[in-house]
Amino acid sequence: MAQLKRRLQFEEGDGSFLKMTNHGEPTVSLAPQPTGYKHCFHAMVKPGGALCNLNCTYCYYLHKEGLLHQPHAPRMSAEMLERHIRQYIEAQTGDEVVFSWQGGEPTLLGLDFFRKAVELEARYKKPGQRIENDLQTNGALLDEQWAVFLKQHNFLVGLSCDGPARLHDQHRVTKGGQPTHDKVMAAAKLLRKHNVPFNALCVVNRENAKYPLDVYRFLTRELGVWRVQFISCVEPKVFHQVAPQRWDLENMPIIGSPLARPGFADSVVTDWSVDPEDWGRFLCKVWDDWYKRDYGKVHVDLFETAVAQSLGWPSQRCVTAEFCGKGMAIEHNGDVFTCDHYVYPEYKVGNIAETHWGAMAYSETQQRFGFSKSRTLAGYCRECTFLKLCWGECPKNRLVRAPNGEPGLNYLCPGMKHFYTHIQRDMPEILRRVKKDRARSFQANERREQ
Ligand code: SF4
Ligand code: SF4
C-alpha cells in the first residue's frame, strides 16, 4: 500500500503544481519520485466521443451522446489532439507511453486523423521513450490503407468479436439491425494479410456465456487470435442515467436472488448482462480447454493474471487489483474522467484545456478514486479465501448485497468464486511450470552474457 501510494504521489501544494504558460496552456511540474518509481498512467481516448457506425445492444457508451450532451458528430479538434498528446507525454516519465484509441468507433475519424496523431507523438516523444498505440475497433471500416498504416506504425488492434456468427450477431448489429460478423471476419483476414498484430475482445453476455467452448474455439481457431480478452457484460438497468456507485443502497438485492440475475422483470441488471453463475461456468470451461490445449500458446489476460497473482505478483488488470485509478478516459472535447467505466458528469476530473493531464492523473481526486476500490470493499470480501485474487472485482459491478445484507458486493461474486475454486486444482502444476520456465530463461540469459 505504501509503495502504491508513493507511485501515485503528487506534488504537495496547489500553487506549485499547476502553472500556465504565457500562451494560456496548462503546464505541470512533476514531483520528484524515489529511485525506481516513475510517473505513469494510462487513458482511453475517445476522439469521436460516443459516435459509432454500429448499434450493439449492450454498448455501455452509445448513451453518452445524450448524457454528456455531445454534438451530432463529435470530433477531437486538431488543437485538442495536439494538447492531449503533448500533455500526456509530458506527464509521464516511464520508458513507455501507451495511446489507446477507442470510442465509439475511432476509425470513423479517418486515417488522416491518426496520421496526424503519430506525427505529433513523434514530435513530443522524450528521448529514450517508447510510444505505443493500440486501437479498439469493430473492424467494419478497415481496408487496405488502414492495414498498411496500422502495420507501419506498429499499432496493436483489439478486434471486437463475441464468437461464431449465431452468437456475435445477437447483439453486434448495424444501425439498421443487420449482422456484422462477416465484417469482423473480413477485418481479421486483412489484418493477417498485412501482419498487423491483433487480439480479440469478447464481451461475455447472457447468451454467449452459455457456449464457452464454441466461443473460445472460434476465437482461437477460426478468427485465429492468440490473445483473448474476455469482458463480462454487466450493466444495471439504470446505467443510462445513474453513475456507478450512486445507486439506491436501500433497494440493492441480495446476491443469488432473482433480482440479482438477468431476465427477471424487476432485476437490477439489463437482460443482456451475463448471469453470475454462467460467468463462472464460462471461465471454468474455457480454462480447462486452454490449460489442456493452449497453455503457453494462447494468452487469456484473465487467466494469466490469476496465475500471476497466485505467485504473489501484481495484477495485470485493474479489475483484480487492490487499487485502481491508473486507467482514465478522455473525451473528444478534452474532458477527463476517472475511468472509462465512470464517464459520467459526477466523475469528471477536469479538462486538459484548463488543467494539465499530469495535474489530474496524480491529483488527490484521482487518488481518492483509486483507493476507494479498497476502502469500499465489503466485509464479506475481506473474509473471502480468494481476496488476493479478486479484490472485490470492479467497483462498477458492486451492485448487490452480501448474504448478510451488507450492500456493495460484486454482482459477479458467485462466478468469481466458482472460477477461483476450480483453478486451484491446476495451480500447483502451473506454478511449478512457471518457476521452471523462469529458471530456464534465467540460465539462458546468463549464458548469453558470458
Ligand atoms: S473502476 Fe473498475 S474498470 Fe475502472 S479502473 Fe477501477 S477496477 Fe478498473
Ligand atoms: S470472490 Fe466474491 S467475496 Fe471473494 S473477493 Fe471476489 S467478490 Fe469478494
Strands 335-337 and 327-331 come out as antiparallel
Please provide the average confidence, as pLDDT, over all residues in the chain. 93
C-alpha span between 223 and 140 (Å, rounded):
15
Give the ligand whose atoms come closest to the C-alpha of residue 377.
Answer: 2
What is this structure's pTM? 0.92
Indicate whether residue 377 lines ligand 2 (CB < 6 A): no
Residue 202 has pLDDT above 90, yes or no: yes
Predicted pLDDT of residue 21: 56
Distance 430 CA to ligand 1 centre (A): 28
Q: Which residues contact 366 (CB under 8 A, 6 or more apart)?
A: 8, 325, 328, 338, 349, 360
C-alpha span between 120 and 59 (Å, rounded):
31
Indicate whether residue 416 lines ligand 2 (CB < 6 A): yes
Indicate whether residue 97 lines ligand 2 (CB < 6 A): no
Residue 274 has pLDDT above 80, yes or no: yes
Convert the pLDDT of each residue in 410-449 to its tens digit.
Answer: 999 999 999 999 999 999 999 999 989 888 888 888 877 7
CA distances to 234, 281, 338, 364, 386 from 399, rounded to whole Å, are: 10, 21, 19, 26, 19
Convert the pLDDT of each residue in 67-121 to its tens digit.
Answer: 999 998 899 999 999 999 999 999 999 999 999 999 899 999 999 999 999 999 9
The reply to whether 340 belongs to the active site is yes
Q: What type of residue is 33?
A: Q
Nearest-CA residue for ligand 1 atom 4 is 339
Beta strand spans in 333-447 (E): 335-337, 348-351, 400-401, 407-409
- Do residues 270 and 235 lie in contact, with contact meaning Cβ atoms separated by under 8 Å? yes
Strands 18-20 and 26-28 come out as antiparallel
Mean pLDDT over 195-214 rounds to 98
Mean pLDDT over 195-204 rounds to 98
Indicate whether residue 387 lines ligand 2 (CB < 6 A): yes
The torsion defined by the Cα of 146, 151, 154 and 160, in degrees rounded to 10, comes to: 60
- Do residues 246 and 346 lie in contact, with contact meaning Cβ atoms separated by under 8 Å? yes
Lowest mean pLDDT among 17-21, 50-54, 134-138, 190-194: 17-21
Q: Taking the CB of residue 418, how many other CB atoms lie within 10 A of it?
A: 18
Ligand 1: residue of 342, 375, 391, 412 to mutate (most ligand atoms within 8 A of CB) is 342
Distance 43 CA to ligand 1 centre (A): 12
Question: In which band, very low, low, confident or very high, does the pLDDT at 20 lie, cut at 50, 70 and 90?
Answer: low
- Residue tagged 474476455 (cell numbers): 230
C-alpha span between 327 and 270 (Å, rounded):
25
The minimum-distance atom of ligand 2 relative to the CA of 378 is 8
Residue 381 has pLDDT above 60, yes or no: yes
Predicted pLDDT of residue 9: 37
C-alpha span between 267 and 429 (Å, rounded):
41
Lowest mean pLDDT among 5-9, 197-201, 257-261, 337-341: 5-9
Ligand 2: residue of 284, 416, 423 to mutate (most ligand atoms within 8 A of CB) is 416
Mean pLDDT over 345-352 rounds to 97
Helical (H) or strand (E) element with 50? none
Question: In which band, very low, low, confident or very high, does the pLDDT at 27 lie, cut at 50, 70 and 90?
Answer: confident
Convert the pLDDT of each residue in 233-244 to its tens digit.
Answer: 999 999 999 999
Does residue 442 or residue 153 have the better pLDDT? 153
Distance 273 CA to ligand 1 centre (A): 18
Give the ligand whose atoms come closest to the C-alpha of residue 255.
Answer: 2
Mean pLDDT over 331-354 rounds to 97
Q: Is the dihedral of CA 185, 56, 408, 254 positive or negative?
A: negative
Q: What type of residue is 396?
A: K
Predicted pLDDT of residue 29: 85
- Do residues 172 and 138 lie in contact, with contact meaning Cβ atoms separated by under 8 Å? yes
Indicate whether residue 400 lines ligand 2 (CB < 6 A): no
Helix ranges (H only) for 73-180 are: 78-90, 111-124, 144-152, 165-168
Catalytic one of 134, 275, 278, 340:
340
Indicate whether residue 41 lines ligand 2 (CB < 6 A): no
What does the longest C-alpha to C-alpha distance in the chain come to?
68
